[in-house]
Structures are given as C-alpha cells and as structure tokens.
Amino acid sequence: MRRSLVIIIIICLCLNQSAIVTLAVNSGTNADDLQVTGISAILMDLESGQILYEHNSHERLAIASITKIMTAMVAMDRGNLDAVITVGSEVLDRKKIYGTLVFLSPGEEFTLRQLLAAMLMNSANDAAVAIAKSIGGSEEAFVQMMNQKAEDLGLKDTHFINPHGLSEIGHFSSAYDMAIITRSALENSALASIVKTKEEDFPRTQQGMVPNHLQNRNKLLWEYEGADGVKTGYTDLAGNTLVASATRNDRQLLAVILKGTSLINTYRDASTLLDYGFKQFNNKLIVSSSQAITSIKLKNGQLVKLGPAKDIYVTVASNQKDPDYQIKAVPTPIELPVNVGDQLGWADVFLAGNYIQTVPLVAQNALGLPDADYLKYFLLGGLMVSGLVVFPRVRRYYSLRRRRRRVIDRGPL
C-alpha cells in the first residue's frame, strides 16, 4: 500500500471543515454515460464526503421544499424536541403560506418533534412557519439563523428568504451546497430518524382537525433498496427537486437532483446515481481512531500521541485495492494539562493528490503538569488561602487601633 505521512507544525491555521472535492479515480465506468435528466445533480459518499458524480452542481437554482432540511437542522440545533409549541395566527396567512399544508389551527399545541415530522414527512408549509416563529421569535429572525448556518458551513451558492421553500426572488441553493447541508443535518440522529419514517400518527389537540396521520412523500422509501431519506420538493419555478439517501452494507450515499423534468424522472435520476455509487465504489479504512498519526514531544520530555477523532475512510473504485493516500497532520500549540480526547490539531486527508477531508486530531494519552508547575500552583494557592485568612484579621487589628487612638485624642469628657 502506497501511503505517506507529512507532519506540519504551525502556530495558526484556518481550515474549512465543510470543503469537499470531487473524487478523481478511474471507476471502470464512464460517469458521462449516466442518463441523468435533471439540470443539476450530485452524488456524495457521506462517510468520506467525496463527490462521486456531479453535473452543474454549483448552479444556483430554486430548490422548493428541500429548503426544509436546513429549517429542521437549525430548529434542532436551537430547540428542544419535547418543547410544546402553541400555533399562532401566522399559519392562516394564505397569501404567504399555501401549497402542502396540515391545516394547523391557532391555539393547537404540538411538540417540536411532531411539527418537524409534519414538515419533513408531509412537507407541510404551515408547520415550517410555526417552527420558525417558535424558534426564532419571528419568521424573519429564523431565516437569518438559516443564512448564518449556511455561512458557518462555508456555502457560497445558498441564500434563504423563507423556511419552507415557496418561490421567492433571492431564495436559492445548489446541488453541491444541498449535499453539504444534508450531510451536516444527518449527523443529528433524531432528524435522520424522521426522514426515513414512512408513516406516523399526527395527533391533533383540537377535536375534528385533519389530517391526523402523516405519510412520507418520498416514494423511494418504498421503492429503492436501502433508502433512508431525505426530502422531496416541487414548485413551478424549481421543478422537481429531491435529496435522496440510501444505505447498503454500512455505506450511505446521498444524491441531489435539482430542476427535475418530472417526478418520475427525478426519482429515476436519483436511483441511477445511487446504483452507480454502490456498484462502482467502495470505502477503505486507512486510519482507525485508535491509531496514532503523530506524536509531539514537549520541552520537558513529555510525549503526547495524536490520533483522528473518528475512523478515516476514503472512497475508491471497486477494482482499486491499495489507495494512494497522504495525511498531513497539523498539531496546534499544546498547553498542559492534556486530557484524553482533547482536540490538539487537524489532519488533512489526500487521495491521489486530491484533498478529500479534514479530521480533528485528539490526544490519545493524558499529560499532567510538571512537578515544578505543581509546586508553583501549590505555593500560589497557599498564598491565596493565607491572604484570605490573614487579611481580614490584619484589617480588623488596624481598625481597632485607629478607634483607640481617636478615644485617646479626644481625652476625658
């Protein structure tokens, strides 16, 4: 196996963990031969973050209801799934909220988890607005949170105007950015559980309200082996949009289709890309989380071993056995004491010379303070304690002494 390890020690490094690049390997199948009808498409391996296929993936397009993936991620970051939300009158504004609805009524109460299910499974636009108002205080404030999250993820081709995806000027994303958004969102196990759920009850707190049952609009959950998400969308401007994920043999792939020509073709496009990814590529473990990548020796002779925070995989063509990879370790300055698991740097992973991903480096052993430092802190602590005890007594002594002088100076009455 050809591999190399380069250790780079620097004082300060600014890294974008969200950066993902296209995989450059010979898969044995020409990706250009894939029949994909959507205007924009991308295929990503979610473990390695590598792009296995892309077509116009950075084109800014309307995205319709796949917007709700970001809405859900922001709501889960900032809210409590068990928190009870009382629906306000804003859900009745049919000039702004139309299309797919669960017809929420002001005064109804739901947990955040229930409203997220209505939004992600049934694509309810009124549920998206209720969530935004509850979490952000206003829809506008919540949308600012969505755009801040996009900035935090390093996205260049995304901007939100609303939490539901109904067409508005200035509301857009790209297949590439939606892949990054979804990869981040699926790290939340509760969100991942909702998007793969086919059906569930939606209990109404006001008698006679309907619907009271949710069915996931993503038909791949029934029709594609291993499908486990994520979200469909449609508007006249956006056309059909789809973010589809599937897991087979512990590998999870993600396909994004924008501006699909029809619903059937959009599902077919996603299935084609997922089939291609599962058949033509495999993941290879190159460094386990228990393995040290490098070690740092301090001036006092102490040694700390650094390893990846998680197993590092690369995605390679199925017929490739020995991936040509390189890891550049970038430790950060170390301050004692060090605990196991403390992040002390980064590791950049390259495959065949192409940057793949960045993984945090963590301490694999603990380091305490040197004996001299312990003595210094012990003496300093002793002085502080002594000061706390002695100072009040000294202060009281001099206070009493001043009082006595005043009595003597005044003399007898």
How far apart are the two ends of the chain, measured CA to CA in Å?
Answer: 103
DSSP state of 361: E
The verdict on whether 68 is a catalytic residue reads: yes
Name the catalytic one among 48, 68, 133, 184: 68
CA–CA distance, 178 with 159 (Å, rounded to integer): 11
**Cβ neighbour number for residue 318 with a 10 Å cutoff:** 13
Largest CA-CA distance found in the chain, in angstroms, rounded: 114
Name the catalytic one among 27, 40, 48, 65: 65
How many residues are given for the chain? 413
CA–CA distance, 373 with 377 (Å, rounded to integer): 6
- Crossing angle (nearest 10°) for helices 68-78 and 139-152: 90
Cβ atoms of residues 176 and 158 within 8 Å: no
The verdict on whether 279 is a catalytic residue reads: no
- CB-based burial of residue 354 (10 Å sphere; 0-12 exposed, 13-18 middle, 19+ buried)? middle
CA–CA distance, 252 with 267 (Å, rounded to integer): 17
DSSP secondary structure, 235-298, as one string: ETTTEEEEEEEEEETTEEEEEEEEEESSHHHHHHHHHHHHHHHHHHEEEEEEE-TTS--EEEE-
Name the catalytic one among 123, 134, 174, 271: 123
The verdict on whether 65 is a catalytic residue reads: yes
Cβ atoms of residues 288 and 330 within 8 Å: no
Tell me which residues are annotated as active site.
Answer: 65, 68, 123
